[in-house]
Structure 1
Amino acid sequence: MPAMTYLPANKEIRDLLGDLLDKEVEVRPGPPFAITDRNPASVAVYVDDSIVVRAVICFDLALSAYAGAALALVPPAAAELAVEERQLSDQLTEPLHEVLNIAAALFNVEGAPHMKLYGMHAVGATPPDVRARSQVLGRRIDLWVDVAGYGTGRLAVVLT
């Protein structure tokens, strides 16, 4: 039987984001996060060493903008503008990709399969099969995430 993918704890997510963004990050449980046309998200796809999709992490539009801006040291106003315009600039997308690449570390614990980022689909570019993986109920975590100085968004970690 293949090893189970590790589902990180809320504290591990908070600590990783806080350390990476060099900001105070607060997390609290939220309802299941569903990607829709009215509620777009960036989705990272994680695979094991056999290139089997094991997990996705979804950041809603707001958290995508805030995390990308915080990592790139872009002022909060630029992140707010991205949320208002409902799209991410390259200035925010590239650092967001880095955040989600580093987030693979959340899954890599002893006894669990080694995971790596396979790809990221920025807000508005999520293919239907990836969107479907993000909707799976079961082994998942849904959180509200507040990035100090930027704002609050939603995150979902979904094991597939």
Structure 2
Amino acid sequence: MLHCPSENAFLAADQVIARITPNVSVWAVDPEGDPLGLYLRSLENITRNVPDEVLVLPGHQLPFHGLHERCRQLTGHHQERCNLIETACRQKAHTVADLVPVLFPRPLDPHQLGFAFSEVHAHVNSMLRLGKLTQRTDSDGTVRVTV
């Protein structure tokens, strides 16, 4: 990302996009990582340090105005997804794979399923770090999360 105050422009890359959300995922090289926490903290940092009236130049789609509102929308979107996971985990313990259809109820092809799994994993890891979920390992080695 690059903020250019003299041009009143913010090159947002994939961090802030007008109509879609960037894929925030856990990757195999860092299975315990917290990419969602990092992403949400970056949105807070952007809101704190980049003026709302800049022209946002995202990595996808058209430029737009309203940076702070879009950051709030993105934060809210991820909070809603965490709420869905919490609701599901109040009923019973789930694996990350069990939670994929909770966040992605439509049919997914294998490529989409990989991204969906990694994004659900990011939400679960963030919620574990925040103490909103707890994790247990069953006798067969299956890892499940619950509230």
Question: What TM-score, normalized by structure 2, do the two folds share?
Answer: 0.26
The higher radius of gyration belongs to 2
- Larger RCO, structures 1/2 (Cα 8 Å, 6+ apart): 1
Give the structure-1-normalised TM-score. Answer: 0.25
More helix per residue: 2
